[in-house]
């Protein structure tokens, strides 16, 4: 686990500071560094799940509008009904595309690597993948690992952080 420098303060994102998770409490509790780090990890997991459960239209912008490829028009995954992941080569391509989406739309990641995980049951049709990333966190970067499951019927992605000790 990353060591915490007592002089530097970790702050939640602006959006997380605007959320009020305890509506009945009028006083904000000052969290210690470890609690703030846990809050950061939880918000990244939540935002990852939102990103991976958002679908965008599959219309490519014209080449002269290259910045559109990085815009919110392309936030999320393509419609999964159009994505074929039945063979290993197509799965590999999908995982690479997924990694590029995370690099583009999750700015809190310093590094990110997505790995396909084989199902232990041959009849299991879910797509499992692991996201290994390093978060920008002051005073030191924080390593996070998320196991994710793409359900083939609902096309929902569930993201869970591996226990952090």
Do 77 and 156 form a contact (C-beta atoms < 8 A)? no
Among left, alpha and beta (phi > 0; psi -120 to 50; other), residue 155 is: left
CATH architecture of 31-161: Roll (3.10)
Do 12 and 43 form a contact (C-beta atoms < 8 A)? yes
Q: Residue ranges per domain, the chain?
A: 31-161
Do 78 and 55 form a contact (C-beta atoms < 8 A)? yes
Structure tokens at 64: 């002269």
The whole model's pTM is what?
0.80
Predicted confidence (pLDDT) per residue in 17-54, tens digit: 666 666 677 666 677 777 888 888 999 999 999 999 99
Please state which of the ranges 27-31, 80-84, 146-150, 153-157 shows the lowest mean pLDDT.
Answer: 27-31
């Amino acid at each position: 686990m990353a060591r915490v420098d007592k002089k530097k303060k970790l702050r939640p994102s602006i959006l997380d500071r605007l959320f009020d998770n305890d509506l009945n409490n009028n006083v904000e509790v000052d969290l210690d560094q470890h609690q703030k780090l846990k809050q950061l990890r939880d918000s990244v997991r939540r935002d990852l799940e939102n990103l991976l459960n958002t679908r965008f239209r599959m219309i490519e912008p014209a080449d002269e509008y290259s910045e559109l490829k990085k815009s919110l028009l392309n936030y999320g995954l393509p419609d999964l009904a159009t994505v074929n992941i039945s063979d290993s080569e197509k799965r590999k391509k999908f995982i690479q595309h997924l990694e590029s989406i995370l690099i583009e739309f999750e700015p809190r990641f310093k590094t990110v690597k997505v790995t396909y995980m084989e199902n232990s049951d041959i009849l299991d049709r879910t797509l499992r993948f692991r996201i290994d990333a390093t978060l920008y966190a002051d005073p030191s970067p924080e390593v996070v690992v998320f196991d994710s499951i793409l359900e083939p019927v609902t096309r929902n992605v569930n993201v869970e952080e591996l226990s952090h000790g």
